[in-house]
Amino acid sequence: MTFERDHRIDFFRGLALIFIFWDHVPQNPLAQFTVRNFGFSDAAEIFVFLAGYAAVLAYGKIARRDGFMVATVKILRRAWVLYVVHIFLLALLMGIVFFANSHVETRDLVQEMGLQYFLSNPQQALMDELLLRFKPNLMDPLPLYILLLLGLPLVLPMLLRKAEYVVGLSVVLYLLAPWLQWNLAGTDGGVWFFNPMAWQLLFILGGAAAIHGQRPRVSQPRPLTRQPVFIAALTYLVVTGLIALSWKWPTVHDAFMPQRLGEWLYPISKTNLSPARLLHFLALAYVTARLLPDTGWARHWLAQQSCRMGRYSLEVFCFGVLLAPLADMLNALGGNTLAMQIFSALLGVGLMALLGAWLDFNKRLNRPIVVTAA
C-alpha cells in the first residue's frame, strides 16, 4: 500500500466545508447551490466519508510501518485533541452567539442556536458538554467524528487485512440501529442528531474505499455509457435530483409523486442515515470519481484553494462554525438584503481560504532546514 495523497480528497473535503458553512447561515442565497438541493444527501455525508478515507490512509500507513500499537496511540491522541477543540469551540460559539444576539433585535439567536438549555440549566449543560451530550446547532459533526475515531483502533487491523468483513459487520449494525432504536442519549431526553450507530457505516465505507484505491486498477475498456453500474448510479441521481427540486413546489411534487412511493420514501431520516440518503451519496461519489479521475485538475490554482481548506479540515471547520453566526448577525444588521447575504457568504469562504493558506504557509515555515556539506 503506497498511501499516496489523492488531491481530489482534499478538494472535496474543502468543498464540503464551504457547503456546510453556506448551509449553516440562515437565508443564505448561495445555500441554494449546495449539494443538499439536488438530492437526498448533503455535505455531512461527504465530510464523514472522506474523514474515514483520510483516517485509514494516515493511520493505516502508520500501522503498516510502526505497528498497530503506535497507530492506536496516535489515534487516541488525535481524538483527545478533537475533544479539547470541541470544548473550546463550544465556549467560543456561545460567546459569539450571545454577542450577536445583543445586536440583533428582530430574532432570538440564542433560541435558534439551541443555547437556551445552557441558560436554564448551566450546571447540567456543562456536565453534558463534557459528556458530548450538549450539542447546539452547528456542533453535531465534531462529536460524531470523535466517537468514530475512538472506534477506529477496534477495526483498523481487520480493515487492512479483510475490509469486506468489517464492512459486513458495519452494515449489520447500520440495519439494527434504527430497528432496535439504538442511539446515544442527548440533552432533555433526546438523542444524538447524527446517530453514531448508523453513521459509522459511512466512515467504514470511506476507509474501505481508501484501501481499495491502493489496489491495482483494472482498466475499463467500455465507455461510461455502456457500464451498467455507472448508468444505474447516474439514473438514481437524476431521479432523486428531480424529487429534491420538486420539494420547492409542493403542488408539483404531490402531482407526480406516487402515494405508495412517498409512504415508503418519507421521512428521509438524517439521524439514522436513511438508505435513500446513503444510496444517493454512494451514487454521487461513484459518478464523481468516474467523471473526474485524478488527471491533475486538482492542482490548478482555484482547486488548490479548496485543497488547502481540505488539508486543514479541522481548523477550517471550526472557523466556519464560528463565522456562521457572525454572518447571520451581519446579514440582520444589513437588513437581510440580497447583496449583503451574498457578500457575507463570499466573505466567509474567503476567510476560510485565507486560514487554509496561512496554515499551509506556517507548516512550510516549521519544516526543518537541511544543510548539506559542500
pTM as predicted = 0.91
291-299 average pLDDT score:
83
The rounded mean pLDDT for the chain is 90
> How many Å separate Cα 156 from the centre of its chain?
21
**Angle at 135 (CA atoms; ends 133, 138), nearest 5 degrees:** 155
**C-alpha cell of 90?**
463550544
Beta bridge partners of 191: 185
Which set of grid coordinates corresponds to residue 167?
Answer: 464492512
Residue 319 confidence (pLDDT) above 70: yes
* Proportion of the chain above pLDDT 70, given as a percent: 95
Which pLDDT score is estimated for 372?
Answer: 52
Residue corresponding to grid cell 453513521: 199
| pLDDT tens digit sequence for 61-111 | 999 999 999 999 999 999 999 999 999 999 999 999 999 888 887 788 888
Residue 323 has pLDDT above 60, yes or no: yes
pLDDT digits (tens, 9 = 90+) for 250-273: 888 888 888 888 888 899 999 999
Which amino acid, 214?
Q
**What distance in Å separates the CA atoms of residue 88 and residue 92, rounded to the nearest whole number?**
6
The contacts of residue 183 (CB under 8 Å, 6+ apart) are 177, 191, 192, 195, 196, 197, 271
Q: Which cell numbers hold the place of 358?
A: 496561512
H helices present in the chain, as ranges? 7-24, 43-66, 68-103, 109-112, 116-120, 122-130, 141-161, 163-180, 196-212, 228-246, 250-256, 259-265, 275-291, 301-311, 313-333, 338-365
Give the Cα separation of 142 and 251 in Å (integer): 38
pLDDT above 80: residue 221: no
C-alpha cell at 350: 474567503
Average pLDDT over residues 18-29: 94
Q: What is the mean pLDDT of residues 116-131?
A: 88
Q: If you average pLDDT over residues 9-18, what whole number do you get?
A: 94
The arithmetic mean of pLDDT across residues 206-214, rounded, is 88
**Quick one: pLDDT band at residue 113, thresholds 50, 70, 90?**
confident
CA distance 155 to 182: 20
Q: Residue 216 above 70 pLDDT?
A: no
332-370: pLDDT as tens digits: 998 889 999 999 999 999 999 999 999 998 888 776 655
Nearest CA among 284, 282, 313 for reference residue 34 = 284
Alpha-carbon gap, residue 10 to 304, rounded angstroms:
9
Query: Is the predicted pLDDT of residue 218 greater than 70, yes or no?
Result: no
Mean pLDDT across 298-323: 91
Contact present, 155 and 204 (Cβ < 8 Å): yes
Q: Is the pLDDT of residue 2 over 50?
A: no
Spatial CA neighbour of 3 closest among 53, 42, 43, 51: 53
Backbone angles phi, psi at 66, to 5 degrees: -115, -5
3-state DSSP assignment of residue 48: helix
Q: Has residue 296 got a pLDDT over 90? A: no
Q: What is the pLDDT of residue 62?
A: 94
142 pLDDT more than 80: yes
The confidence score (pLDDT) of residue 1 equals 38
Longest CA span, the chain: 80
pLDDT digits (tens, 9 = 90+) for 178-195: 999 999 998 878 899 999
pLDDT level of residue 219 (50, 70, 90 thresholds): low
